[in-house]
Amino acid sequence: MLTRREFSSYLVTGATALVTSGEVWPASKPEALQDQSKSLDCDLLIKGGTVIDSDQKLHGLLDVAVNNGRILAVSPNIPEGRARMVVSAKDKIVTPGFIDIHVHCFDGVGTGANADHYCLGRGVTTVVDAGSTGYPMINAFIKYVVNTSITRIVALVDISALGIVVHTKDTMRNLDWVNPELTEKAAEENKPTVVGIKVRLQKDIQGTNDLECLRRALQAADAARLPLTVHIDDSYSPLPDILKFLRKGDVFTHYLNGHPNGVLDANGKLLPAVLEARERGVIFDPAQGSSHFSFDVAEKCLAQDFLPDTISTDRLERPVYDLPTQVSKFVALGIDLDKAIEMVTVKPAQVYNYGLPLGTLRSGTEADIGIFEIRDGNFEFMDSARQKRTGHKMLVNKAVVRRGRYFVNEN
């Protein structure tokens, strides 16, 4: 795996190589542009792609101009002479930078992945680290990962002091390790990077203590005035007993798991408590990871018109791989491509307070942009039980713009 520094160099090298390919050129290259250099008014022009921006209800052949790290304009037929660099997006789609609302990126610790390689290198410009650390280590995570990454990283603080960096099991059986006051203090001191609190409710994590751990996590979230993300999978307590505590804006993550105490009753129908939770504004996120996603559950939910609010990854390993693969997986399940892109752009942008507008290509916003290829064929996707489904579209990132900087993905 590339280190963060090696990946940054790799991207820059890739972009430089592409300058000579005919797809990208600096304005000083063609003679026709040399004479106009004094009138240039954008740094980067992405030409001729199909722009999909759910925030502005855009889907069509448009150009995107970037200047000083911000979106200057989205419009048809922007003159190439206005740009210092022109990128052809012909036969590709152009979107706001993807947002992965649930991933673990404490690189080199536990199950953490390198965000610049596995996220930015796949078109994901913003990630939410979903509680890799509790209060003792959040400062180290911010210092050594958040502050040294090109990818925008915000974080949840896990109510468990150990988070997932030490061991994923039995970390909350001892309630001395579940301290709402210290969790709230760590969250307050590390805003705006910290955007929420996390709790994992699973029998092999806290045994019979799940409701008490939930209460303590809610106490920390209330005190810090932050939303709570609740991992619920194979919980000790019945799901309705847990969901009644969740507030508008809280996130139920891993909701498409195939384990006991799930969202479906014995007849495959959605529990009334699940429908009530959505009605009052609880957010439903799948976050497949290694063990949290079932095609059978997903198909039954979709058949009842119960779609995810967002799409995320959790762990960036087989069979998840990356966020574009997860988008392709949900397209294979029948979700419209535009809708699926909405679930990784404008929808996750509304969940947390990132401190600036994200998930959009509106003029004046920070220039986070993805350029993707849609490949046709037969593609095999897997759920967490290694059950398979075949899809016919695969979304593959080809390049990404992060805060106005252009990178090429050569994978």
With contact defined as beta carbons under 8 Å apart, do 91 and 84 qualify?
no
Residues 14, 16, 19, 20, Cα dihedral to 10°: -90
Q: What is the pLDDT of residues 264-309, one digit of tens each?
A: 999 999 999 999 999 999 999 999 888 899 999 999 999 999 999 9
Euclidean distance between CA atoms 106 and 101, whole angstroms: 15
Q: What is the pLDDT of residues 218-238, one digit of tens each?
A: 999 999 999 999 999 999 999
Nearest Cα to Cα of residue 302 among 284, 325, 279: 284
Helix (H) or strand (E) holding 43: strand 42-53
Q: Taking the complete model, does pTM exceed 0.85, yes or no? A: yes
Euclidean distance between CA atoms 318 and 383, whole angstroms: 10
Contacts of 334 (CB under 8 A, 6+ apart): 302
Going along the chain from its start, the domains and CATH numbers come out as: 4-95+395-408 (2.30.40.10), 98-349 (3.20.20.140)
- pLDDT at residue number 290: 82
Cα–Cα distances (Å) from 54 to 197, 256, 340, 394, in that order, read 28, 24, 10, 20
147-159 mean pLDDT:
97
- pLDDT at residue number 23: 37
With contact defined as beta carbons under 8 Å apart, do 69 and 403 qualify?
yes
The three-state secondary structure class of 218 is helix
∠ Cα 345 350 356 (to 5°) = 85
Q: Which residues pair with 395 in a beta bridge?
A: 374
Euclidean distance between CA atoms 128 and 359, whole angstroms: 14
Q: What are phi and psi of 385, to 5 degrees?
A: -95, 10
Euclidean distance between CA atoms 30 and 4, whole angstroms: 34
Q: What's the residue count for the chain?
A: 411
Q: What is the pLDDT of residues 306-352, one digit of tens each?
A: 999 999 999 877 788 899 999 999 999 999 999 999 999 999 999 99
Look at residue 109 and tell me whether its pLDDT is greater than 80: no
